Amino acid sequence: MGKIRVATLGSEQEEKLRTKQKVKREEKKKRVGAEKVHLPGMKGGQRVKSIGSDEEEIEKLAKLAQEVEKDQAEGIKIAEKKEKPKKAIKRVRSKKYKEAQMKIDYQKAYSIADALPLLRQISLTLFDGTVELHINTIAKGLRGTTSLPHGTGKKVTVAIADNETIEKILEKVSKGKIDFDALVAHPSVMGKLATVAKYLGPKGLMPNPKTGTISPEPEKVAKKLEAGSINWKTESDFPIVHQVIGKLSFKDKQLEENFQALVKSIGEIKIKNITLKSTMSPGIKIKVS
């Protein structure tokens, strides 16, 4: 049998025993008897929070639970981050460019014969600048081929893809090495060229029957391209044709003849307006007819 504790009722010894037992119960509460509070709005085990017997802590958690319930009822509004609008960068033109602009009458459309001498006056480059036409058409998706009588002033490198050269071309192109300005192909190798279309297509170099670059006689086509034959087309998303028609070192008559050849190929009826410019110069409006 265990030990029997005897205490006289109402004695000092009994009082001490009760006090001791009370202290033990309180310590046990703190150590083991943790209450669990369920917090609304939390998932699974997250809703259960163990706390001590401290009343202040219980009150804090009760307030937290009330706040969570309130947020759920009203809906928590998350402030969206507003992106700061990008400041438009103002293009600052040089003094020479502004002086060149002052020589142009922007209310006027010039004839090509009058525009070419003016273009030389407003040229800003110290090198042989490129002469360009920017043509707005009535629709996008237009394309064609024409021969500029005096070429573009740039040496055109034309590659020929046939049964003898196809493997070498495929090897170069698949490595991203494109060392030609135009590619003419024999119909028999078009199936193989399709494997590198992802490299040639974006650069406008994929042979196409519409541009005449697929031919059973690719050597003849290559000679025409080297002599000044060009393929023009509108941009994929906009009805605009950008085309080089020569260099500033060309004579006015040569540039005018190249201009007329391109306009004739596109068709005056399909043209809305034309802008003539050279490298880094302001643009000059040109009469369509």
Assigned domain for 215 exists: yes
Q: 159 vs 156, which has greater pLDDT?
A: 159
Region 259-269: what's the mean pLDDT? 95
CA dihedral 264, 269, 274, 276 (to 10 degrees): 10
Q: Same domain for 136 and 166?
A: no
Q: Same domain for 134 and 186?
A: no
Assigned domain for 70 exists: no
Q: Same domain for 243 and 264?
A: yes
On the question of pLDDT at 273 being above 50, the answer is yes
CATH number of the domain residue 169 falls in: 3.40.50.790
Number of domains comprising the chain: 2
Q: In sequence order, what DSSP letters do the residues of 203-258 get, joined into one string?
A: GT-S--GGGT-B-S-HHHHHHHHHHTEEEEE--SSSSEEEEEEEETTS-HHHHHHH
Q: Same domain for 264 and 234?
A: yes
CATH number of the domain residue 239 falls in: 3.30.190.20
On the question of pLDDT at 137 being above 90, the answer is yes
CA dihedral 277, 273, 142, 149 (to 10 degrees): -50
pLDDT, residue 79, reads 47
Q: CB within 8 A of 42, min separation 6: which ones?
A: 68
On the question of pLDDT at 51 being above 50, the answer is no
Q: What is the pTM of this model?
A: 0.59
Q: Same domain for 241 and 122?
A: yes
Residue-wise pLDDT for 66-109, tens only, equals 665 665 555 545 445 556 677 767 777 788 888 888 999 999 99
On the question of pLDDT at 112 being above 90, the answer is yes
**241-262: burial string, b at 16+ Cβ within 10 Å, e else:** bebbbbbbebeeebbbbbbebb
CB atoms within 10 A of CB 98: 10
pLDDT, residue 110, reads 95
pLDDT, residue 211, reads 79
Range of the structural domain that residue 270 is part of: 100-154+228-289
On the question of pLDDT at 255 being above 80, the answer is yes
Assigned domain for 6 exists: no
pLDDT, residue 257, reads 95
Mean pLDDT rounded to a whole number for the chain: 81
pLDDT band at 263 (very low <50, low <70, confident <90, very high): very high
Region 226-231: what's the mean pLDDT? 82
Q: Same domain for 139 and 199?
A: no
Assigned domain for 41 exists: no
The tokens describing 166, both together, are 């196809």
pLDDT, residue 29, reads 64
Residue-wise pLDDT for 15-44, tens only, equals 777 777 777 777 666 555 444 555 555 555
